[in-house]
Each structure stands twice: as C-alpha cells, then as structure tokens.
Amino acid sequence: MKDNQFPYFPTDFFWASAQAASQADGAFTIDGKGLNSSDVQPYHQGLSNDEIQQLEQQGMTLEEIRKNITDKDHYFPKRFAIDFYNTYETDLELLKEAGLKAFRTSLDWSRIFPNGDDEKPNEAALEHYERMIDKMLELEIEPIITMLHYEMPINLTLKYGGWVNRDVIDLFVKYGKVLLDRFSGKVKYWLLINQINMIQVEPYLSLEIASDQYENTEEAQYQAVHNQMVACAKIQQYAKTLKDSKLKIGIMVADGTAYPKSCKPDDVVLAMWHNRMQYLFTDVAFKGYYPKFALNYFSERELHIKITEDDKSLLSENTLDYMAISYYFSQMVDSDVNKKIPYSVTDNPNLSATPWGWNIDPQGLYNSLSQYWDRYEKPILVAENGFGNYDDLINDQVHDDYRSAYLGAHIEQIGRAIYDGANIFGYCMWGAIDIVSCSSQQMSKRYGMIYVDIDDDGNGTRQRFKKDSFYWYQNLIQSNGKLI
C-alpha cells in the first residue's frame, strides 16, 4: 500500500459496501415472498459474455416472462443467490470486521407486497428486514437502504404493464410510505430507485416492461421513467411531513458520461449532447423540471410523454436531498459512428477492459464527480464501484491484487474530487460479498472482497472466505483513505 496523494477524506466519511436484495437474498420460497423481475431471469449456460449482455439489453417478451415463471428446466440464480436472507447476521459481522461504517442494500418490494397491489404489507417480511437493520445498528454500521433495486413484483408487468401505467406510481408510493413509517429513526439514508437512468441498457429490470409490450418502445421507456420520477417526488413530499429531521432522500444514476473521440467539433458537440441526455434524470430530480434539450428530443422523435401540470408542480416542489452514482467505466462517442441517440457509444481504444468489456478509467470517476458537483452542488454518494473478475480459490485463499489496485486507483480520484471541493460523503464498493451478477446471472463474475463458494450452476458449499482485498480494504478504512 502507498500514501494517497489526496488524503482528504473527512473523519465522518462512510467507508461502505453495497449489494441488492435481488442478487443476494435468495430464499424465494420463504416468508410469503412473491416473484419479482429478477427472479425470472435464467442463467444462459454456454453463451459468451457478449451474448449474455446482448440478451440483457433486449429484455424479455411477455411470453418469455410467463414461461420463465413456471420453467423447471433452467436455473434461476437470483431465486437462490447467496442466501443472505438467512446468513445476514454472520455476513454483517464480517463487514464489521472489515471496518465498514455503512452498508447499502435494498429491501425486496416483492417480499413486502408480494403482488405489488396487495391491500396490506407482508408483516413477516417487515419483521425480517427490521431484524436485519437492527443488526446493522448494533454493529454501528449505518444502513443505506434502496427501496427498489430490480425487485418489482412480476404481477405489475403482467397485470399493469409495468411503470408505463400511472397506477404503479401510487402502488410504489404506498410501499415507500410503509418503509418510511416502519423504519423511522433507524434508517436516515434512503435511495428510492436504483440507477433510474438505465432505461435503454436494462429496460426490463429498470421499468419492468416486456420488450413486445408497447408499440413504441422508446416512448414507453420515457413515459415509464417519468412515472418513476413522479413517484419519487411523492415519496419526498411524504418524507417532509415526518418528524425525522435527519431523514435524507436520494436518487441514483449509473454514470453515463462520455468523452469525445477527438477535438473535432462534431465529436465535441455530440459528447456534450450525449452528456446532457444523461443529466436529464438528475436535472428533473434536483432542478425540478425537464430541460429544454430533453423536451426537444421528445418532440423531434415524436415521443408523446404525458406530463401533467400537477406532475410539474410536484417535481418542482419536491426535489431530492442527495445524489448517488454507480461508476464502473467511462464511455466515448465518435460522430462518424454514433448518432444522437442516448447510449450510442463506442469503445475507447486508449483504455484496457475487464473480461466483460468494461473500460477501466479511474480518472473518469474524478471527471464525473466533478461535473455532477458543479452542476447541482448536492451531496454525493458513490453508491457502487467495483471490479468484476474471475477469481481462483486455492487453499481457501484468493489473491486478488488486481481488485485492490482497481479500487485504490478509483478511491484516489474520489479524494482528488473532494480536495477540489466536491461534497462526497461516502464510498460503497460493489459488493463486499460475492453475489449473482445483475447483468449476466453469473456467480463467476465476482466483485466481492469475500468469496462465496457457489458456481454459475448453483453448486458449492456457500462458505465464505476472505480475499486479500478484504485486508487491503480493512487497512484503507483504518487509515481513513490515506493508505491506498
């Protein structure tokens, strides 16, 4: 380890980690849980990493969703995951041993309201999550809780058509109110929706829309995310009526900032346009209105998004308290190849990549954090950052210096952003414990500093082993970011 050139982390900085219930909990037959959007994603054995990710971006048809609900021939990893639902006590104790100050996880909507439109919440699920949160508080680990991280009840796709249906707004708000009421005084930091801008990268998981459910898919995507943002504003409106003055309500985006390929004006202007369309979501959340460039895009593409006057007032009056980002890689646009379409990007030849093709760019994190801070001046949480790789467990050990090097290089850039004035209050490595990959359903795509003995087909002892990166992160936390 070396001294960080930018050791400017405040003494109350949240050194943390993150995961999602959909990728960790498992136990899908326990305590009255319903199926959610992640539970019907099969592992595609024999496909390449590229082929698996292409399937993810395509989403699923209604017929595929219905078939997967009853399919007995394929393995559905997220139904079993790493069984965190039953092992949370010992897993949290491992995180305490590592020195974590905070832990971000989600609560499963399909456990608390198994069908999404149930009259009353499932008390067994609420009692379970209360025990989990109490255990975190007992260990002096600050809970950062995500309300929705790809756990939307599958019934809301089949019966309502996903987030395109405005009825889903009130169903989510009802769920959010139950959580705020139940955990008042215990949870200060809430993230309402995970990666709200991933509507064209993970359209099915983000919006619970089947790929063949609407005639104009892009229009449906923007209508659905508008409804999500209205729901977030309504939950913020309710949160402001509560007596908990420490309550903080945030929203999360996956960083999509792009570089221009060159200083050629066409490349520079295309990059600016691309980045503006990424800022659309946080502009609504923190400025309280749709920017003109976004409205122009809707008009030019003949996307008819229903935005009522009441919606406009609600968004304007209930902006959110903090922003959270996930950052794994940077992107690039080339005006000779890419078009004025969000997520039309090109690989950057100047960067190396992970086995899944994700460019490694620590300085891109400094760039993104600085841009977000300059634009909004809202407190920022780095809610996800990590290195997915194939790990080898040999003699109960994993030597993963490559992970420590990746994390350290990115954390150093966070220190640099703080030094330059950004208010960044926490860093969540993804994820402390190996979990099922969101995009590929693989266990072999490992991010954790704690190895879980499960393979892609669900075989293994489920035993936990500390990797070398566990001790690296432990030392980093003890030095408050000085030793990287």
What CATH number does the domain containing 191 carry? 3.20.20.80
CA-closest candidate to residue 236, choices 279, 198, 195, 284: 284
Whose tokens are 């999509």? That residue is 256
Q: Domain for residue 3, yes or no? A: no
Phi and psi angles of residue 144, each rounded to the nearest 5 degrees, phi first: -120, 110
Q: DSSP string spanning 457-480?
A: TS-S---EEE-HHHHHHHHHHHTT
Sign of the alpha-carbon dihedral angle for 347, 349, 355, 358: negative
Residue 277 belongs to what domain range?
14-478
pTM for this predicted structure: 0.97
For the residues 43-56, what does the mean pLDDT come to? 81
Cα–Cα–Cα angle for 163, 166, 172, rounded to 5 degrees: 65
Q: Domain for residue 2, yes or no? A: no
Q: Which residues of 432-462 are buried (b: 16+ CB within 10 A; e: fewer)?
A: bbbbbbbbbbbbbbbbbbbbbbbebebeeee
Cα–Cα–Cα angle for 364, 280, 262, rounded to 5 degrees: 40
Q: Domain for residue 6, yes or no? A: no
Q: Domain for residue 5, yes or no? A: no
Q: Domain for residue 115, yes or no? A: yes
Domains in the chain: how many in total?
1
Q: How far apart are CA 146 and CA 326, in angstroms?
A: 13
Q: Domain for residue 1, yes or no? A: no
Q: Domain for residue 9, yes or no? A: no
Q: Examine the pLDDT at 33 and tell me if it is beyond 80.
A: yes
For the residues 388-411, what does the mean pLDDT come to? 97
CA-closest candidate to residue 145, choices 109, 98, 184, 192: 192
Whose tokens are 């749709």? That residue is 290
Q: Domain for residue 454, yes or no? A: yes
Q: How far apart are CA 121 and CA 111, in angstroms?
A: 9
Residue-averaged pLDDT of the chain: 96
For the residues 6-31, what does the mean pLDDT come to? 95
Which pLDDT belongs to residue 44?
A: 87
Q: Examine the pLDDT at 49 and tell me if it is beyond 90.
A: no
Cα–Cα–Cα angle for 344, 336, 365, rounded to 5 degrees: 50
